[in-house]
Amino acid sequence: MQPRYERQAYDVSEKENNKQLVTIVTDPKYVVSIRLIMSKRKSREKHLAVGECVSQVQRVLRERFCHQKLPDKPVGLESQYKHLLELLRRTAVHGESNSVLIIGPRGSGKTMLLRCVLRELLELQEVKTNVLQVHLSGLLQTDDRIALREITRQLQLENVVGDKVFGSFAENLVFLLDALKKGDKSSSRPVFFILEEFDLFAHHKNQTLLYNLLDVSQSAQAPVAVVGLTCRLDVLELLEKRVKSRFSHRQIHLLSSLTFRQYRDAFGSELTLRDDFPDSEFSQEWNLGVSLLAVSRVSVSNPTLRAVDVLEASRMSSADSKSNILHGLSVLELCLIIAMKHLNDIYEGEPFNFQMVHNVRLTDDGRRTR
């Protein structure tokens, strides 16, 4: 005789659209099984500690603002994006050499624009496997010798160069580019030279690096694209005549065309927490407090934005960072800094010691007493 089962299903809380299906098996030989389908609203209710919420917010915003996660397309820079993409595509695909300057104030998105363009280019298989990139910074490569060593390292040609001795910078650079050729001249691998803080390279002795890079791009010895990033509008005035004559004079200016409302909406969108944030209650409270960029004031004791945070952020952003460094220094310390600046100009960035700084200060003091 087959065992008999009594099975019942209950539909509860229909008014709240919260359906819980309960299945009960009454046979003693079987374990009672109960399956509950919880409501969406209850499953989302997850409250974290304030400290953990702040840590999550910092992680999300750091990914957005520190360029660890690039946007799909730069906001408000559509024409500049299209222009730069076309220039670099002609170098990468067709072997056409180019040079261009990206000019804009700090924080305007110069590096972000370039990285978005490179990301789209590298999606092409022929570009990904063939194009080489060399990234230099005027803050790190303070003279042409250091810059050339860095170019050799990034092109992975240390073993090719070995102990060779070159008569000039130009010979060394041409040798590096020749080493990249896969056969005849037409099969040279395209190289993108990206120069951050381009204006600082103009202060190198005789501007040798800039001259040779631009000369290669103009003479079509190899498919080369020289991309300079700078915040100085007068950067061309810093170039020597021979360097300027080899530059293509292509400039991409990053001057925002957004209205204030568009600017506010764009920043609000970047600061707003998405629906997938772990704590929905904290997310709603945070989004209500988002009005301007004053996130640096957020902490565990102050987890949301207030009006005073906006005022403080505005004051800090308008302050001169270099002047703030000098605040609180004594007269003697200021004299030593002036002496160091004087020696740096005389020796053109070559190293000097404290004794030399002290001697300059004593000399200046002697002149004043006379």
Over residues 270-282, the pLDDT tens digits come to: 778 877 788 878 8
Of all residues in the chain, the percent with pLDDT exceeding 70 is 69
Q: Which amino acid is at 57?
A: V
Q: 259 or 140, which is more confident?
A: 140
Q: 35 or 173, which is more confident?
A: 173
Strand order across the 191-196 sheet: 132-137, 191-196, 224-230, 98-103, 251-253
Is residue 202 domain-shared with residue 101, that is, in the same domain?
A: yes
Does residue 198 fall inside a structural domain? yes
Q: Which domain holds residue 338?
A: 322-369
In whole angstroms, what is the distance from residue 61 CA to residue 58 CA? 5
Does the pLDDT at position 221 exceed 80? no
Over residues 91-133, the pLDDT tens digits come to: 998 888 899 999 998 878 899 899 999 999 998 888 888 888 9
Is residue 149 domain-shared with residue 215, that is, in the same domain?
A: yes
**Residues counted in the chain:** 370
- CATH value at residue 121: 3.40.50.300
Would residue 91 be called left, alpha or beta, if left means φ above 0 and alpha means ψ between -120 and 50 degrees? alpha
> Contact at 8 Å (CB) between 190 and 63?
no
Please compute the mean of the pLDDT values over residues 316-339 and round it to a whole number: 77
> Contact at 8 Å (CB) between 113 and 102?
yes
Range of weakest confidence among 21-35, 144-158, 288-302: 21-35
Please compute the mean of the pLDDT values over residues 223-240 and round it to a whole number: 91
Give the pair of three-digit tokens for residue 3. Answer: 């065992």
User: What element of type H or E holds 125?
Assistant: helix 125-130
pLDDT of residue 82: 92
* Exposure class string for 72-82: b at 16+ Cβ within 10 A, else e: eebbbbeebbe
pLDDT of residue 40: 43
pLDDT of residue 185: 46
Is residue 329 domain-shared with residue 242, that is, in the same domain?
A: no
Is residue 249 domain-shared with residue 130, that is, in the same domain?
A: yes
Is residue 29 domain-shared with residue 144, that is, in the same domain?
A: no
pLDDT of residue 195: 94
As for how many domains the chain has, the answer is 3
> Contact at 8 Å (CB) between 177 and 221?
yes
> Contact at 8 Å (CB) between 202 and 210?
yes
In this prediction the pTM is 0.59
Question: DSSP assignment, residue 4?
Answer: P
pLDDT of residue 87: 93
Give the pair of three-digit tokens for residue 215. Answer: 């000369």
Q: 221 or 153, which is more confident?
A: 153
